[in-house]
């Protein structure tokens, strides 16, 4: 039987390639490779770095944004370490290390400044890039993520471990993850969910270590950011509610703006791609000349 997720991912790759975005691997140091989807031709367009979350890789997360963005921007889509084809033999599992590897890769690619757009776990990495390499970050867009995370939002789902939620081992576990990640629940038979578990949840040991390094004890303490920050949030996000986002905007300060997307959950860029793309393009246009 055909693996439906492999077929779906192939379709997503075709969408990305049709926008002039091609796969490429960057060695940031011996033993560390970052796989990208990036512009086939070098241009002087402003650069945008799309950083995925924990349950997918770059192309599965951002394929529906690429064609809209590539008309005006140079789009870079990495696979984070231990996702897709990115890997390291280094022991560091922190978001800081993920951020440093992406920055090294962008420098190797000749990109001097860019706007990180981070979703969920990728939002934490995006915030880290802005914190550690503010000279390269023109502005920042984040969906479904604070700068640092605690496990309090996951504990309310009744699980003892964050890995039980974000690294499901069974079809029922994946069904639960999708039910809390999406605004509209969709019914799927078991076999494509089994395909998704097999195809998308590789490197389980390393990803569990990433989660251990991610969740900190104090989620109320984080760096200040001089850049403009835009929060694009699903109104029905069950991991981080829109009320949480409103409070976060206040904590981040006057340089932070926010837009709530109706009928969107945590996976807002996949559930409401046309609205998400319109709002993202609007914000990116407003910071082009910074």
Residue 276: which residues within 8 A CB-CB, separation 6 or more? Answer: 65, 143, 232, 261, 264, 268, 269
- For residue 262, the tally of other CB atoms under 10 A from its CB is 12
* Averaged pLDDT, groups of 10, the chain, 290 residues long: 88 95 98 97 93 95 97 97 97 97 98 97 97 96 91 66 88 93 87 92 95 73 88 96 95 96 96 98 89
Query: pTM to 2 decimals?
Result: 0.96
**pLDDT for res 47:** 97
Residue 8: which residues within 8 A CB-CB, separation 6 or more? Answer: 60
**pLDDT for res 188:** 83
Pairwise CA distance, residues 227 & 132, whole Å: 12
Range 45-68 burial, b when 16+ CB lie within 10 A, else e: ebbbbbbbbbbbbbbbbbbbbbbb
**pLDDT for res 164:** 86
Per-domain boundaries in the chain: 4-147+227-286
Among all chains, which residue has been given the structure tokens 């319109």? 278
Q: Beta partners for 34?
A: 26
Q: Residue 142 is encoded by which pair of tokens?
A: 């984040």
Residue 196: which residues within 8 A CB-CB, separation 6 or more? Answer: 5, 174
Range 69-108 burial, b when 16+ CB lie within 10 A, else e: bbeebbbbbbbbbbbbebbbeeeebebbbbbbbbbbbbee
Pairwise CA distance, residues 189 & 208, whole Å: 27
**pLDDT for res 144:** 95
**pLDDT for res 57:** 96
**pLDDT for res 109:** 97
**Containing H/E element for 129?**
helix 121-132
Fold of 4-147+227-286: Rossmann fold (3.40.50)
């Amino acid at each position: 039987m055909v693996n439906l997720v492999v077929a779906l991912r192939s379709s997503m790759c075709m969408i990305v390639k049709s926008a002039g975005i091609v796969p490429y691997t960057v060695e940031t140091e011996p033993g560390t490779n970052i796989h990208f989807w990036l512009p086939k031709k070098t241009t002087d367009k402003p650069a945008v770095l799309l950083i995925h979350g924990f349950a997918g890789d770059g192309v599965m997360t951002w394929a529906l944004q690429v064609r809209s963005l590539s008309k005006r921007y140079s789009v870079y889509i990495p696979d984070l370490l231990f996702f897709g084809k990115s890997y390291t033999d280094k022991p560091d599992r922190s978001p800081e290390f993920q951020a440093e590897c992406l920055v090294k890769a962008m420098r190797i690619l000749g990109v001097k400044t860019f706007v990180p757009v981070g979703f969920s776990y990728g939002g934490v990495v995006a915030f880290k890039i802005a914190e550690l390499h503010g000279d390269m970050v023109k502005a920042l867009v984040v969906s479904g993520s604070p700068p640092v995370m605690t496990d309090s939002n996951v504990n309310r789902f009744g699980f003892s471990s964050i890995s039980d939620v974000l690294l499901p081992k069974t079809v029922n576990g994946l069904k639960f993850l999708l039910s809390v990640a999406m605004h509209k629940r969709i019914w799927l038979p078991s076999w494509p969910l089994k395909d998704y578990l097999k195809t998308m949840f590789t490197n389980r040991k390393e990803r569990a270590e990433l989660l251990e390094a991610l969740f900190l004890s104090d989620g109320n303490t984080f760096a200040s950011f001089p850049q403009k920050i835009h929060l694009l949030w699903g109104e029905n996000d069950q991991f981080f509610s829109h009320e949480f986002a409103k409070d976060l905007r206040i904590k981040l300060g006057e340089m932070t703006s926010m837009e709530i997307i109706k009928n969107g959950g945590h996976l807002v860029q996949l559930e409401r791609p046309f609205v998400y793309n319109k709002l993202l393009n609007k914000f990116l246009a407003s910071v082009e000349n910074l």
